[in-house]
Amino acid sequence: MDGKKEAEKEERSGLPSPLDELLGYRLRRASMAMMADLLAALHPLELSAGEASFLILVGANPGCPQSDVGRTLEIKRANLTPLVARMKARGLVVDAPIDGRSRSLTLTEAGIALRDDALARIAAADRKVSQGLSIDERALLATLRSISG
């Protein structure tokens, strides 16, 4: 299977490039394309991608320590602090001291509602793409998980 004359290769100033065959490059481009859709879907909710993932994770783990959230989402402590502050300022999350240093996070009713809304939009954007996949989505997810270890 090496039909090479694709003719559609240059849809519009698309120069031929070995980059097309590189997994890392293709992964990045696909990720950026989906991210663009995601941001558009979350914009009406005034949520960034990081904020949405935060709400989803805390919503699924009520009372979890902030440190665990940071580790799971791979958000540095220094960057998580202002994110939590914004969510608290909007009344989406409440925190309580676990011990002297750690704080537990829990979504408020408003936080849960917004999380549900965001999750629905994200899932819809996901579905829009995954429906057109040429391979099984489960297999794809498993493969991607294995890449990010």
Binding site for its own copies (CB under 8 A): 9, 12-35, 37-38, 53, 56-57, 60-61, 64, 67-69, 71-72, 74, 119, 122-123, 125-126, 129-130, 132-135, 137, 139-149
CB of 17 or CB of 81, closer to DNA: 81
Q: How far is the CB of 99 from DNA (least distance, A)?
A: 3
User: Rounded to an integer, what distance in angstroms lies between the CA atom of residue 82 and that of residue 85?
Assistant: 5
Q: Which residues, other chains included, contact 38 with Cβ-Cβ below 8 Å and sequence gap of 6+?
A: 49, 52, 122, 125
CA–CA distance, 124 with 126 (Å, rounded to integer): 5
Cα 69 from Cα 66, distance rounded (Å): 5
Q: Out of 56, 75, 112, 119, name the contact with DNA by CB under 7 A.
A: 75
Q: Which residues of this protein are in contact with DNA, per CB under 7 A?
A: 48-50, 65-67, 70, 74-82, 84-85, 99-103
